[in-house]
Structures are given as structure tokens and as C-alpha cells.
Structure 1
Amino acid sequence: MSTSPISSPPRPKYLQEEEASSQEFKSFISTLPRQKGWVVSNIYQYQGFWYAANHLQGLFSCHKNFNPEDSDIFLVTTPKSGTTWLKALIFTLLNRHRHPVGESHPLCNSSPHDLVPFLEINLYADSQNPNLAFLHTPRLFSSHIPYSCLPEPVRNRCKIVYLCRNPKDTFVSLWHFTNKLRLQEMGANSMSQVFDLFCNGVSLYGPFWDHILEYWQGSKENPESLLFLTFEGLKDRPGFHLRHLAEFLGRPLSSEEEESGLAEEILEFCSFQNLSATEINRNGKLSSGEVNCAFFRRGETGDWKNHLSDEMVQRLDRITEQKFSGSGLVL
């Protein structure tokens, strides 16, 4: 009795840059500096920052085809700095009248990454001209694009909320996350393999420090349109920052909402414990192939103490001090 061969699972989209890229684009990226990627085979340096090929193609597509509206809001982060949490908080905050907190809320059945799509990773990496009609006004987008590489109309006309995290926790979280995304036959990256890359600026959308400094400077020059946050600050004073976000985005909490404890209700609803326990985040997948549970590991500060050697800590601290010297920024 013969049996049918077991077919291999489809390759996730984040590993399909060669298939997704046009021949013209392949020719272009072949001229760019290249380094080994943490997940994909290679990442490419463009205008000082490192991208996977499909993310870079998405960047070009949105520059060419994306038409921002003045009311658009962009949630921009360095990878693994609290992106999932920020998306949940702001989606719930801005849609609190359309979708009151409760069992029928979209976050109970959808990942924050589906509700607030990545501009260059999801929308414009998949299509040259995606249909954005499903997004309500104000439209919420997310991105990891460096400030200098954002489409100029976005920088000039839209609200931007930027979130970053200290480099030690960012690195540890990025190492765990990218190992979850690697195909089994690829094996895991050892921490030492990618630590040198990270310190040398070679990580997705890195150099890490340059990415942060651009947005820090942008927030100083345009505080009315760019709000700079840190994961540590958001964890320490979540109620303060949620109210600040509401005011910055033009949706301040009313006195009635304050009296009802809405801020605390939103924070509890969007907490790591609550979101990570939903069925969609325990067992669901994004349309791009990643399992939702990969975006929920610990959600805490200070985990680097469990992973980094004293030498690693000293090296990261030294780089951070040198990079941020004179900027006034402390992480």
C-alpha cells in the first residue's frame, strides 16, 4: 500500500524575497552592500540602514504610490521595542467609541498587527497599490522605516508616535524573535553570532542607535507632530503616557471617561497578560506567515540580565554612550 508523500509547508512571505522581487529590483539590490541576515539569507544597506529585500521593495513602493492623508497616524518603532503593545493601546484608544472594550472588541479576534498594518512590510511589500479602503479615519499605520527614509509627506503632514527600548533588552528580544522565525532546517543563530552584527549596526532597520537618534532629533524639531516614547517609560507610567497619547493624537479623555476609569480599563485590556491569553494570539497566524505567539515572550524590562555577559553589557553601554553623546538622550 503506497502512501502519498508529505508535502513541505509553504515558505512564509518573509523568506520569499527572491520570489517576490522583480528582475529589475534584483539587479538593483545586487549593487548594494550586503551582509548575512538574522532570518533571511541576506540584508542590504540602503541610505545607511539595513533591510530585508522585500522590506526594501516595500519602501520603494510606498514612496512611489502611497498618498498620506493629513489625519493619518504612524506608529514607528525599532524592531522588538513594544510594537505589539503600542498598536493595541492606540487602536483601542482611538476606536474607543466605535469598539468599546469587551468580548466583541476586534483585539479579541485579531492580532494588533492585522489591525494596524505595517506600511512597508505588509501593505506595500504585497502590492504596488494596495486597497486601503478597509481602514477607518484616522488611518493607523505602523512602520520600522528610519525617519530620514519616510516618505516626505508623512514627515511633513502626519502624526508620528515613536517607541524605542534600551539596546540590551532590544538585542535579547530580537535574538529570541528572529530564531523563532527561522526555518527548522536553518538552525538557530547563537547569541555570539548576532551580537557582533548588532554592535556593528547590522540588524533589520539598523544601526539601532542611528534609527533612534533620527527620531529623537525629529521630536525636538517637531514636537507637535512627532512624539518620542521609550518602552521603559511606558512600563513605568502607563496611565500618564496613555493620557499623553490621547492628547497628542487629538482624542483626549473626557471628564466622564476619567471618572469611569476608562484609562485603566484600556491598560488592563491591552496588557501582556490579557492579549497573550487570547485564542488568536495563542494559536493564530498573520497573513504573512508568522505565528502570533512569536510576538509575545515576556513583555518586561531587564531580561538582558539573564542572557548577557558582563563583557557584552560593557560593550553595548560603551557604544550607546558614544552614539548618544551630546544628544541629551538617555536610554
Structure 2
Amino acid sequence: MDKLIPDEVYQKLTTKPLPFGYVEHEGITLYEEGDDVVKALKTFKVRDDDSWIVTYPKAGTTWVQEIMSCVMHDGNLEEVNKRHTASPMPFIEFNLPKTIRQLNRLPLTYQVVELIQSPRVIKSHLPGQLLPPNIWDKSKVVYVIRNPKDVMVSYFYFLKRVSPTGRSGQTFSEYFDEMMSGKILYGPWWDHYLFFWKLRHHPNVLLLRFEDLKRDLRGNVERVSKFLGKDLPAETLDAITDHCTFANMKKNPMANPDSILAPPEQAADTAPREGSFMGKGRHPHRLKQAADTAPQEGSFMRKGKVGDWKSHFTVAQNEAMDALIRDKCYGTGLTFDQ
């Protein structure tokens, strides 16, 4: 797995935003080649010991993947910190830009996932209806719901960071209208959420709430552990909980995505390290330097707050969002903290 991307290619890829294209599949906006991936997933061989992390973007993916990594390693944090947590947990639908991938003769990510040894942990932002059809009967699926108002704010800053063009000058007001329309990458949050909300009692689905993770991290670490079939002792659960606090993850270069998506001035001065899923990783010292110096507003792990939307929404925007939530979630039982 370490040589999927040659060193010289990896070095170029980490120095600037990547020129992604987009396609539409069944009305859902996906990254380019996403339609090909979704078609392939219809026959993707799901394994009985697969675990999936599925989320709408910016709902808590990084947080839950770290918890799952710790649990899968039976709380061996030294082993967890040997490589970046994202390395062995690929986004199955996410590929390098087509021109770069083809130029360097690189496979699609789902093709790489097929080669990973069991047990696999696979991530996805895909809506439930686009996932492999037999996933529900064979795999464990962890889904995370977050207040869509906070998702909206976090997604705004995320897109400004990763988009090479067209986003740097976008105002929150302009972006708000885009999100309200649902015409955004991976589609509207309400369809995404409600698909999994209806499956919340399925024995192979664990539905977590971002806000519950903030309120009771220890209790939810134990829930994840039991769901994945791990009976970990109390002291191990305590250690995982401490490791997975937002503050500790943010400063941990092996958990914070900022350390592998550093600004150009750090990326160009980064030494390769063995163990990355898509090529060479980064030297731990450089990883820490990148995590420490990444800009706050563009960081993957920006604030991790509940209710940060209150610092961004106008009264009118809040009223519009409340009306949308009532309209889309009425009668479903799905509600959000105010």
C-alpha cells in the first residue's frame, strides 16, 4: 500500500489544492468519477467483518474514526499513533483528480479497498442509497448525526480550504443559500440524515450524535466498543476517552487531518514516512509542525463546538433554517438541540 503514489507525485499533490471535477449521479453531486464508483459499489464484495463510518461531511467523521481505530486496536494507543489514522481508513468514493490519477496510473480507491486485509474500516460520505446494497446485512455501520446548523458552518470553512477556485471569496450568506437549496456536494443533509435515521434500530447500525459525544464521550466510546464486539476493560475505555478528546486529537499529528493537508509552505518541506494509505506519509516532527501552524479558520479540526452556528447565523437565517428543519423532519422524530 505504501507505494500507490510515488514520492515525487505525492510531494506535488500536497503543495496546493487539487483540481477536482464534479459529476451528478441520481441528482446527487459527487466528485468526478463518482458515478463510476457508485456503479461499481453495486457489486462491491462486502465482508462480514467490515466496519463502516458513514457521515454527512463535517458531522464528526474524524472524531469517530479515531475512536474506532482505538477500539479496533484494543486500546493500544502506541500502535494507533504509529501512523496517521486516516491512512488505513480510506473514503471509498474519494479519488485523486482523474487527470492526475490516470497520468500516474493509479487505481480508483474502491479497487484499493478490495485489496485491504480484514478487518477493514471503510469511510464514506455517500448517501445510504448509493452504498453497497448488502452492507446492512453483512457489516457494522456507524453513522453520525450533527446539528445541521453547526454542520453548515463547519462545511463552509472546509470548502473554502479545499476548493482550488471559486470559494475563497464566497461569503457565508452566499454559501447559506447554496446549502439551503441542497445543491451541494453529497446532496442535501436532510435526505442523508433521514435515510439512516430510519435505520437507527437496525442491529447492524449504530447511530451516534455529535452532541452526545461532546456530553458523554466515555459513554459513547463504550457504545462503539460494544457495537464492534469489543469487551474492553474500564481502564482501557478511560484511556481511549482521554486520547479522543477534541483538544488531544487537535494537537495529535497522527489524528488531525491538518497534518497531512498542510499549507504549501509546510508541505514542500515535509519528509516522507512509511505507512500512508495513499503513498508516503509525513515525518512525525513535520506532522506536528503542520498541525500546530495550520490556520484556525481553515482547519479540519477547527473548533469542535456545539452551537458555533450562533456566531454566524443572522436572525433571518436561523428562522429560515428552523422552518426547513420543521418541513423536512416533521413526523420523523428527528430533532436537534437549539
Shorter chain as denominator, the TM-score bin is: 0.7 to 0.9
Post-superposition offset of 1:197: 1.2
The answer to whether the aligner puts 1:327 opposite 2:327 as a matched pair is no
Aligned to 2:145: 164
The residue correspondences of 1:216-295 to structure 2 (distance < 5 A) are 216-220=197-201, 223-253=202-232, 257-258=233-234, 261-279=235-253, 281=256, 283-285=259-261, 287=278, 294-295=299-300
The answer to whether the aligner puts 1:174 opposite 2:179 as a matched pair is no
**Counterpart code for 1:94:** M
**Counterpart code for 2:107:** S
CA distance in 2, matches of 1:278, 1:244: 24
TM-score (norm 2): 0.75
Pair 134,95 (structure 1): closer, same or farther in 2 beyond 3 Å:
farther
Aligned to 2:63: 85
Aligned to 1:101: 77
CA contact (8 A) 2:156 2:172 kept: yes
CA distance in 2, matches of 1:133, 1:147: 20
Pair 271,189 (structure 1): closer, same or farther in 2 beyond 3 Å:
same
**Counterpart code for 1:92:** C
CA distance in 2, matches of 1:299, 1:108: 24
- Say what the alpha-carbon RMSD is for the aligned residues: 2.8
The answer to whether the aligner puts 1:117 opposite 2:90 as a matched pair is yes
The answer to whether the aligner puts 1:70 opposite 2:48 as a matched pair is yes
CA distance in 2, matches of 1:302, 1:186: 24
Pair 324,146 (structure 1): closer, same or farther in 2 beyond 3 Å:
same
Deviation per residue, 1:34-88 (Å, 9 max, x gap) = xxxxxxxxx4442242222243333233335x31111111100010011000000
CA distance in 1, matches of 2:114, 2:56: 27
CA contact (8 A) 1:118 1:143 kept: yes
CA contact (8 A) 2:90 2:113 kept: no
- Match for residue 308 of structure 2 among 284, 303, 325: 303
Aligned to 2:35: 56
State the secondary structure of the residue aligned to 1:120.
coil
- Count of aligned residue pairs for this structure pair: 284
Worse overlay, 51-60 or 270-279: 51-60
CA distance in 1, matches of 2:97, 2:24: 19
- Match for residue 322 of structure 2 among 296, 317, 321: 317
Pair 232,279 (structure 1): closer, same or farther in 2 beyond 3 Å:
closer
Which is helix-richer, 1 or 2?
1
CA distance in 2, matches of 1:165, 1:54: 28
The residue correspondences of 1:182-197 to structure 2 (distance < 5 A) are 182-183=163-164, 187-197=168-178
Post-superposition offset of 1:95: 1.1
CA distance in 1, matches of 2:159, 2:223: 32
Bigger RCO (CA 8 Å, 6+ sep):
2
Pair 54,268 (structure 1): closer, same or farther in 2 beyond 3 Å:
farther
Pair 118,207 (structure 1): closer, same or farther in 2 beyond 3 Å:
same
CA distance in 2, matches of 1:301, 1:178: 20
The answer to whether the aligner puts 1:15 opposite 2:6 as a matched pair is no
State the secondary structure of the residue aligned to 1:75.
strand
Aligned to 2:185: 204
Percentage of identical aligned residues: 27
**Counterpart code for 2:237:** A
State the secondary structure of the residue aligned to 2:302.
coil
Q: Any gaps of 5 or more consecutive residues in structure 1?
A: 1-8, 18-42
CA distance in 1, matches of 2:114, 2:323: 47
TM-score (norm 1): 0.77
CA distance in 2, matches of 1:131, 1:237: 36
Post-superposition offset of 1:14: 4.8
Post-superposition offset of 1:194: 1.4
